Amino acid sequence: MSDHHFFHVDAFTGKPFSGNPAAVVLLKEWLPDSYLQQLASEFFLPETAFVVPVDGGNRFHLRWFTPELEMDLCGHATLATAHVLFNELNYNFGKLFFQSVSGVLSVERRGDLLWLDFPSRPGQIVKCPPVLETGLGEIPEAVFLGRDYMLVFRDETIIRSLQPDHVILNQLSLGQGGIIVTAPGNNVDFVSRFFTPGASIFEDPVTGSAHCTLIPYWSNRLQKKEMLAYQLSPRGGEISCINYGERVGIGGKAVTVFRGTL
């Protein structure tokens, strides 16, 4: 097997050791799925992105793996991949296109931000499962379900102070989904956190794909097309948001922490 270059990138941040870390592995062709999963488990980051060029231009195939499984959509690792292609490999295009299991995704460089064009995934209002209330220790104002559960709370203080009970929440079997908790922000339009029951990394630092559900909700509630969001994990991350209707724009910065060769 030939050498493959990889990059460790922190996404949705402009400085190292914050935001959400991802590994980006550059491949010439696809390797066996079992090997990709082993690599993702070895990196042991929230996500590892594997990218293969399609035509030598600005089109690529892209897949994402957690340490346990392949995901259907990942924002921060897509942002990290685009950052590598633009800034490490100097692809001189205004926009990159990625073929994925969630369709064609694009990333455009505008000013100092990279903008993801992702599908909108509004949640449907549902009754809150008792295990969620018990596991989070707070009663939400409303609960929605898409790929993820989204629990809406009164204010930012509640989101900051949540101390989820891993044992209780791990009773939920959500597949690729997780638990979004969100509230109006004090200095931004809205804040959130994201938990993944059953996963080795329980709290995701910054979750781009969750904003496919957060953006349509907050855009409708605030009557705003463009918004600024912040994910209140210990590492933290800032997300610029645009509601396009059937699509959402998710903007952020990224920084390379180190490079290596497999």
- Point out the residues that are catalytic: 47
For residue 24, how far is the Cα from the chain centroid?
Answer: 14
Helix (H, G, I), strand (E, B) or coil at 77: helix
Q: Is 168 exposed, middle or buried (0-12, 13-18, 19+ CB in 10 A)?
A: middle
CB 218 within 8 A of CB 95: no
What sign results for the dihedral spanned by CA atoms 61, 174, 39, 10?
positive
241 within 8 A of 228, measured Cβ to Cβ? yes
Tell me the C-alpha distance between 23 and 42, whole Å: 11
3-state helix, strand, coil in the chain (%, to 5): 20, 40, 40
For the chain, give the longest Cα–Cα distance. 54
d(CA 6, CA 32) in angstroms, rounded, equals: 17
Nearest one of 213, 260, 231 to 88, comparing CA atoms = 260
Strand partners, 243: 248
HSE of 32, CA atoms in CB hemisphere, 13 A: 4
Strand pairing partners for 149? 145, 179
Spatial contact of 221 and 86, defined as CB atoms under 8 Å apart: no
